[in-house]
Amino acid sequence: MAADEKQKSKSNGKTLPLPRRQSTEEISCDRSHNAYDICSINGPTVLDPATSTFFLMDPISSTPQKPLVEKVRPYARKMENLTMSLITEVTLVAGPPSPKCEIQHKAPALVFSVGGYTGFFHEFNDGFIPLYVTINTIFPDQDVVLVVSHARDWWIHKYSELLRTFSNHPIINLDNDTATHCFPFASVGMITHYGVAINPALTPNSKTFKHFRAFLGIAYNQNHKVQNLPKSRPLLVLAGRTGSIGRLLLNQNEVKLEAEKVGFDVTVFEPRRGTLLKESYALINSSHAMVGIHGAALTHSLFLRPGSVFMQVVPLGAEWVAEVCFERSARAMGLEYMEYKIKAEESSLIDKYNKDEMIIKDPVAFRGSYISNLETRKIYLMDQNVKLDIVRFREYLKEAYIKAKKFMDKEG
């Protein structure tokens, strides 16, 4: 890592003045939100990675006898005690002598953790979307140094392009870095707008989900641009699921064949652990439509171009989570959102339960009954598979084709 790096604007490469923190408090914290705490050390500071501690250099009001100390867990799931217990606590302190600085940075530090929920959906919902919101709230138009705890090697490798787009500097891994680092100031924690959402009214530069989608384009589109070659058939990505975790499409081959009959070229997309995101982005960004059963793989809908078609197949009992996880973000991105809610006869649960039972007839009422959330999650999201009614689904595919063909003719 180069010491004493010049801060650069990511948009035009010009040298920017050093950021200054406008605060009279040496250390300040906002703990007023249900989902997150965020603290700042508002002056030159030294990070000791060995103790996850930021020391204020030359404090004014604090004394060694009575230091000012704040602690924060930088993860936006504050209401979940078990999850937060897994997050490394970061200390901000003014008063005791700070350790000697070994590496000097001119950009401020932003500290967060990726030690909570795992999986592709959560890596965006609890990681990169809050990170985007935080940077555009606290550091608009500024460069930052990302200081990350629980940053495992596979995570750094998987998201290398995205991390480089967030920051011009290599990340500092709080778990294994041994050098002390100095910053003009530091912010610890991530801001969330609750769920897969970005509220422009809450960011100084009025960022929206469309801006976040454009940001992903900067990260992944540099060497994978859509080729504007003449196309006769729109490309549909059919997001598949494998394994025994539920929500499998039992007649996937029939669905693929029907989509081809309607007029699509179809690519079945089943991402694996080793699938490079730049390859996934290249495929989905070049497509005109995406169809899949509600599940983490639909997080890839973030790679669809605004104006393209996204159809979510919603299993029984998954209406609310389908809306929160993918419908809202799809609409906010400007996608042509479609939804196919399956009927009881298309669910594998009909083989286990009578169609007149509440679990089939009224999943909303069933979820609100005596049964626990973990039990309903298992029933509807893990024990349920789907076999689509091809005759009924064909009409949705026809509508999707009309929209996708119109998008293809316009955008290529």
Q: Which of 363, 281, 288, 360 is nearest to 322 (CA)?
A: 363
Mark whether 147 and 191 lie in a shared domain.
yes
Mark whether 191 and 260 lie in a shared domain.
no
Mark whether 152 and 37 lie in a shared domain.
yes
Assess if residue 175 is contained within a domain.
yes
Find out whether 194 and 35 touch, Cβ atoms under 8 Å. yes
Among 164, 192, 207, identify where a domain stops: 207
Per-residue pLDDT reduced to its tens digit, 311-343 = 999 999 999 999 999 999 999 999 999 999 999
Mark whether 291 and 390 lie in a shared domain.
yes
Mark whether 269 and 395 lie in a shared domain.
yes
Domain of residue 275 covers 235-411
- Looking at residue 405, its pLDDT comes to 98
Assess if residue 125 is contained within a domain.
yes
pTM of the model: 0.90
Assess if residue 197 is contained within a domain.
yes
Mark whether 156 and 248 lie in a shared domain.
no
- Looking at residue 377, its pLDDT comes to 87
**Residues 346, 350, 354, 360: is their CA dihedral positive or negative?**
negative
Structural domain count of the chain: 2
Mark whether 389 and 277 lie in a shared domain.
yes
- Looking at residue 23, its pLDDT comes to 54
Mark whether 198 and 289 lie in a shared domain.
no
Per-residue pLDDT reduced to its tens digit, 119-173 = 999 999 999 999 999 999 999 989 999 999 999 999 999 999 999 999 999 999 9
Mark whether 154 and 275 lie in a shared domain.
no
* Full strand arrangement of the beta sheet holding 309-314: 265-269, 235-239, 289-293, 309-314, 336-341
Crossing angle of helices 277-285 and 209-220, in 10° steps, is 120
The terminus-to-terminus CA distance of the chain in angstroms comes to 41
Mark whether 184 and 256 lie in a shared domain.
no
Find out whether 273 and 251 touch, Cβ atoms under 8 Å. no
Mind giving me the DSSP string for 245-295? SS--BTTHHHHHHHHHHHT-EEEEE---TT--HHHHHHHHHT-SEEEEESS
Rounded CA gap, 156 and 138, in Å? 23
CATH of the domain at 294: 3.40.50
Mark whether 51 and 116 lie in a shared domain.
yes
Q: Which of 329, 333, 306 is nearest to 411 (CA)?
A: 306
Res 16 pLDDT > 70: no
Mark whether 86 and 144 lie in a shared domain.
yes
